[in-house]
């Protein structure tokens, strides 16, 4: 989980929030926002993403899930995670799915990014399955 992101977002008065904390203790967020759905993990996380108005995530697999459901997305890389893709990779992917990148984590930046993500249109993405099949057929 991205504790800094969770701490900042919990300062907000956002409604209908689902917060998946992973290894970060969920209790402080449950106490502060009993109206939020705060969980460590979900085996049905894809359903939560599918039902979201906006997805706020670190640079990870959730971006891919959000893109499958064509959800407006805000990406907040976790600077403490040194074994993940770098900021340049995040910038490329964010551009590809028309997401909003937040590099400085403040409540104002996050709230502005959420509103900006809602205004953006989701891009038409090329059908990767067809492209992959064509590449495989060329090898045969």
6 contact partners, CB below 8 Å, separation of at least 6: 19, 21, 24, 29
9-13, 54-58, 120-124: least confidently modelled range = 120-124
Q: Which residues pair with 51 in a beta bridge?
A: none
The band of 60, judged by pLDDT with boundaries at 50, 70 and 90, is confident
pTM of the full structure: 0.84
83: domain CATH number is: 3.40.50.2000
Q: Model confidence over 2-25: pLDDT tens digits?
A: 999 999 999 999 999 999 999 999
Counting the structural domains of the chain, the total is 1
Q: Model confidence over 69-97: pLDDT tens digits?
A: 999 999 998 777 656 656 777 788 888 88
Range of the domain at 119: 3-139
């Amino acid at each position: 989980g991205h504790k800094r992101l969770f701490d900042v977002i919990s300062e907000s008065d956002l409604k209908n929030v689902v917060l998946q904390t992973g290894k970060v203790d969920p209790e402080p967020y449950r106490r502060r926002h009993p109206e939020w759905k705060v969980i460590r993990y979900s085996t049905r996380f894809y359903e939560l993403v599918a039902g979201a108005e906006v997805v706020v995530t670190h640079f990870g697999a959730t971006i891919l899930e959000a893109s499958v459901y064509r959800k407006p997305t805000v990406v907040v890389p976790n600077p403490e995670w040194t074994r993940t893709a770098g900021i340049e990779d995040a910038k490329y992917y964010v551009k590809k799915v028309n997401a909003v990148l937040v590099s400085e984590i403040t409540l104002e930046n996050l709230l502005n990014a959420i509103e900006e993500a809602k205004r953006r249109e989701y891009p038409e993405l090329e059908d990767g399955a067809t492209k992959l099949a064509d590449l495989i057929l060329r090898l045969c």
